[in-house]
Amino acid sequence: MGNLDINVGKLKKNAFRYSKVRGETASRIRIPGGVIDAASLQKVVEIAETYGQGVIHITNRQGVEIPGIRLEDMDKVNAAVQDIIDGLHINQGEKGQGYPSSGTRNVIACPGAKLCPFGCYDTTAFAQKMENHIYPNDRHVKIAFTGCSNDCAKVRMADFGIIGMTEPQYDKDRCVACEACVNYCRRRSVGALHMVNGKVVRDADKCIGCGVCVVYCPTRAWTRSKEHYFRLVLLGRTGKKNPRLAEDFIKWADEESILKMVENCYAYIEEYIDPDAVEHKEHIGYIVDRTGFEEFKKWIFRDVQLPPMAEVKEQVYWGGNHYDRYDG
């Protein structure tokens, strides 16, 4: 650290980034679900102009960083971000002290049903509910929400990826046998629809609940179910050590089950995290690799009641990077 008297662990926990520029830091602002009101965004601008360099970095996880803040101004910045924390309804604890934790990363979401015709649910609302459910927490966890199987939020790079599903509802009396749904399901999804005697039949085992049929039906013969369902994918990760995409775990899960499983995951981490991990930061996937998937599954299923139509993979396997030496 040279001659700088800095507690890096405290700095990071308080949601400031350790900077390569001596004497400077960057303030990290959480924006759960990726939606921030204009008044709070104006506060971000004011902090950047008053204490930073007048610039704002948009992060990959839908938060913002304000670089160029002098270390001696951290307390002032913590006081200034209070209006943002209040405006976004973020759990905090002691007011005026900034963010109490930064281990659990900002919960991200695509625009979802509020904006996108393919969105099967309100992604922002679920993301904000999850944020309030789990934050603050120092454990290194990434959670992402996407409205449909298009996966615009790239949730397969997160520890918990939540993909919106719907159980398409068919009204045969509104169907005019135009076959638009059949054609679009074949071209843009999994081909779960076919015609029988002038009416559409859905293969429930093949259907992934994407809602393409709903979007492209010109007569509203197809509509979304009033119940919201989700595909849960697990333990995607980037980084230096064996990056990998998340794998499918549950289809047709419900909201409360997902909230409970994520909550249980934190208890699992507390039980099995490597005590020698630097700053107690250990990716969940590494813990699962060490304990085995069955132990992880036992923990996250505690007190979980999945809906009757849920489908669960008994065992999940992850691949990894393997290289062979090139001999020319």
* Lowest-pLDDT range of 12-21, 187-196, 259-268, 294-303: 12-21
* CA–CA distance, 151 with 157 (Å, rounded to integer): 11
In angstroms, how far is CA 268 from the centroid of its own chain?
19
CATH 3.30.70.20 residue ranges in the chain? 169-223
* Lowest-pLDDT range of 45-59, 119-133, 237-251, 301-315: 237-251
118 has a pLDDT exceeding 50: yes
- Tell me, yes or no, if the pTM score tops 0.85: yes
Task: Quickly count: other Cβ atoms within 10 Å of residue 42's Cβ.
Answer: 13
pLDDT digits (tens, 9 = 90+) for 218-270: 999 999 999 999 999 999 988 887 888 999 999 999 999 999 999 999 999 99
* CA–CA distance, 107 with 212 (Å, rounded to integer): 26
pLDDT digits (tens, 9 = 90+) for 279-304: 667 889 999 999 999 999 999 999 99
Burial of 258 (0-12, 13-18, 19+ CB in 10 A): buried
Determine the pLDDT at residue 93. Answer: 83
CB distance 128 to 121 below 8 Å: no
Determine the pLDDT at residue 1. Answer: 39
CATH of domain 108-158+231-312: 3.30.413.10
State the pLDDT confidence band at 3, using cuts at 50, 70 and 90.
very low
Higher local confidence (pLDDT), 147 or 92: 147
What percent of the chain is predicted at pLDDT more than 70? 95
Q: How many CA atoms lie within 13 A of 122 on its CB side?
A: 9
Instruction: Please give the CATH topology (third level) of the domain spanning 8-87.
Output: Alpha-Beta Plaits (3.30.70)
State the pLDDT confidence band at 182, using cuts at 50, 70 and 90.
very high
As a whole number, the mean pLDDT across the chain is 91
119 has a pLDDT exceeding 60: yes
Q: Given 3.40.50.720, 3.30.70.20, 2.40.50.140, 3.40.50.300, which CATH number is that of 169-223?
A: 3.30.70.20
Mean pLDDT for the stretch of residues 186-204: 94
Residues paired with residue 145 on neighbouring β-strands, in sequence order: 109, 162
322 has a pLDDT exceeding 80: no
2 has a pLDDT exceeding 60: no
Determine the pLDDT at residue 5. Answer: 67
Which candidate, 310, 288, 307, 299, places its Cα nearest to that of 262?
A: 299
277 has a pLDDT exceeding 80: no
Mean pLDDT for the stretch of residues 168-182: 95
Determine the pLDDT at residue 241. Answer: 78
Which candidate, 312, 192, 212, places its Cα nearest to that of 254?
A: 312
Burial of 239 (0-12, 13-18, 19+ CB in 10 A): exposed
Give the chain as a 3 state SS string: CCCCCCCHHHHHHCCEEECCCCCEEEEEECCHHHCCCHHHHHHHHHHHHHHCCCCCEECCCCCEEEEEEEHHHHHHHHHHCHHHHHHCCCCCCCCCCCCCCCCCCCCEECCHHHCCCCCCCCHHHHHHHHHHHHCCCCCCCCEEEECCCCCCCCHHHCCEEEEEECCCEECCCCCCCCCHHHHHHHHHCCCCEEEECCEEEECCCCCCCCCHHHHHCCCCCEECCCCCEEEEEECCECCCCCCECCEEEEEEECHHHHHHHHHHHHHHHHHHCCCCCHHHCCCHHHHHHHHCHHHHHHHHCCCCCCCCCCEECCCCCCCCCCCCCCCC
Determine the pLDDT at residue 321. Answer: 65
CATH 3.30.70.3340 residue ranges in the chain? 8-87
pLDDT digits (tens, 9 = 90+) for 199-210: 999 999 999 999
Mean pLDDT for the stretch of residues 76-83: 95
